[in-house]
């Protein structure tokens, strides 16, 4: 089976086009419901079973249903921007039903990944995001600060950081100890973390709480690249665990 990769350039270009058309003063000042209406999409909040958002397209108009009660606000904003991404990018589809998992998906479905990339580029445009991280070293503390600054999710903020940082960064998402996907800027980072395999047995994502380093650190026994036979050098890492969901978000940093 051929796995289609998301079109990163197309997704980010579509978000840039929206920015250029409306010339927002700052990302935090984007009124997403108003923007959606300007793009001929009505945003409605209400109960949605088993989903965070749903987009319905008919006769050139759309309705984006957003689950009520989504918190924090950054997650709600990202959900609306995600549905707008489907609207702008996927004209051939009449309906999307998007779960919380879809909002974190950068590897399973190219359609969901493209909507996420659009949302990240819309809410964290390069002209505002890049200057903040220009001289910054990777850390979860910084990712949390970026998510708060731009009103978006931790996962999206980590990926935007990996996209625009001068450092070699890989973002890894795992569920129940298995890697679901990884993300890197292919222009700056040649190494990759394979999906569909177990997390390293000794890493920031798997060690016990008493052994974990609450900052970017080096775990000398961690092997994130078992498919490679040469020495990849030192790999720094830090993981945010969501134990109640059985998930983890890991930042890998390969110092040059």
Q: What is the CATH number of the domain that holds 81?
A: 1.10.10
Q: What is the DSSP letter of 27?
A: G
The pLDDT, as a whole number, for residue 3 is 66
The pLDDT, as a whole number, for residue 2 is 59
Distance (Å, whole) CA 135 – CA 255: 14
Query: Of 123, 143, 167, which residue is a domain's last?
Result: 123
My answer on whether 73 and 27 are in the same domain is yes
Instruction: Report long-range pairs for 174-179 (Cβ below 8 Å, ≥24 apart).
Output: 174/199, 174/205, 174/247, 174/248, 174/250, 175/245, 175/246, 175/247, 176/246, 176/247, 177/206, 177/246
The pLDDT, as a whole number, for residue 256 is 77
Distance (Å, whole) CA 207 – CA 130: 33
My answer on whether 241 and 187 are in the same domain is yes
My answer on whether 203 and 244 are in the same domain is yes
My answer on whether 34 and 137 are in the same domain is no
- Work out the angle at residue 46's Cα, subtended by the Cα atoms of residues 160 and 116, and round it to the nearest 5 degrees: 15
Question: Across the chain, what does the average pLDDT equal?
Answer: 91
Distance (Å, whole) CA 256 – CA 240: 24
Please indicate, yes or no, if residue 132 is contained in any of the structural domains.
yes
79 neighbors 152 (Cβ within 8 angstroms): no
Nearest residue to 101 (alpha-carbon basis) of 82, 120, 88, 86: 82
Please indicate, yes or no, if residue 20 is contained in any of the structural domains.
yes
Below-70 pLDDT ranges, the chain: 1-3, 229-231
The answer to whether the peptide bond before residue 58 is cis (omega within 30 degrees of 0) is no
My answer on whether 118 and 135 are in the same domain is no
The pLDDT, as a whole number, for residue 230 is 66
My answer on whether 112 and 146 are in the same domain is no
The pLDDT, as a whole number, for residue 102 is 87
Strand order through the sheet with 169-175: 178-184, 169-175, 247-253, 236-242, 217-218
Please indicate, yes or no, if residue 225 is contained in any of the structural domains.
yes
The pLDDT, as a whole number, for residue 209 is 81
My answer on whether 116 and 81 are in the same domain is yes
The pLDDT, as a whole number, for residue 211 is 85
SS3 call for 152: coil
Please indicate, yes or no, if residue 3 is contained in any of the structural domains.
no
Nearest residue to 78 (alpha-carbon basis) of 3, 18, 153, 183: 153
Query: Of 123, 145, 164, which residue is a domain's last?
Result: 123
- Total length of the chain: 256
Structural domain span for residue 109: 8-123
Please indicate, yes or no, if residue 238 is contained in any of the structural domains.
yes
74 neighbors 153 (Cβ within 8 angstroms): yes
Query: Of 123, 140, 157, which residue is a domain's last?
Result: 123
157 neighbors 132 (Cβ within 8 angstroms): no
The pLDDT, as a whole number, for residue 125 is 94
My answer on whether 107 and 135 are in the same domain is no
Question: What total of structural domains would you count in the chain?
Answer: 2
The pLDDT, as a whole number, for residue 246 is 86
């Amino acid at each position: 089976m051929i796995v289609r990769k998301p079109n990163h350039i197309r997704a980010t270009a579509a978000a840039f086009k929206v920015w250029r058309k409306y010339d927002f003063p700052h990302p935090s000042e984007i009124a997403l419901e108003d923007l959606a209406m300007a793009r001929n999409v009505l945003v409605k909040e209400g109960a949605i079973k088993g989903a965070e958002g749903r987009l319905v397209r008919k006769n050139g108009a759309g309705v984006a249903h957003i689950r009520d009660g989504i918190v924090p606000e950054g997650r709600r904003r990202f959900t609306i921007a995600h549905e707008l991404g489907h609207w702008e990018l996927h004209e051939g589809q009449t309906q999307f039903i998007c779960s919380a998992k879809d909002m974190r998906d950068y590897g399973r479905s190219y359609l969901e990944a493209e909507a996420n990339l659009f949302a990240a580029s819309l809410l964290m445009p390069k002209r505002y995001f890049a200057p903040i991280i220009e001289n910054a070293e990777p850390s979860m503390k910084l990712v949390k600060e970026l998510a708060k600054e731009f009103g978006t999710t931790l996962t999206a903020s980590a990926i935007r950081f990996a996209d625009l940082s001068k450092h070699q960064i890989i973002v890894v998402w795992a569920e129940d100890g298995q890697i679901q996907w990884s993300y890197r800027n292919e222009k700056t980072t040649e190494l990759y973390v394979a999906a569909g395999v177990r997390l390293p047995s000794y890493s920031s994502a798997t060690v016990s709480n008493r052994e974990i380093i609450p900052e970017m650190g080096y775990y000398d026994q961690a092997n994130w690249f078992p498919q490679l036979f040469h020495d990849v050098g030192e790999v720094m890492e830090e993981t945010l665990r969501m134990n109640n969901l059985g998930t983890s978000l890991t930042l890998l940093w390969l110092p040059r």
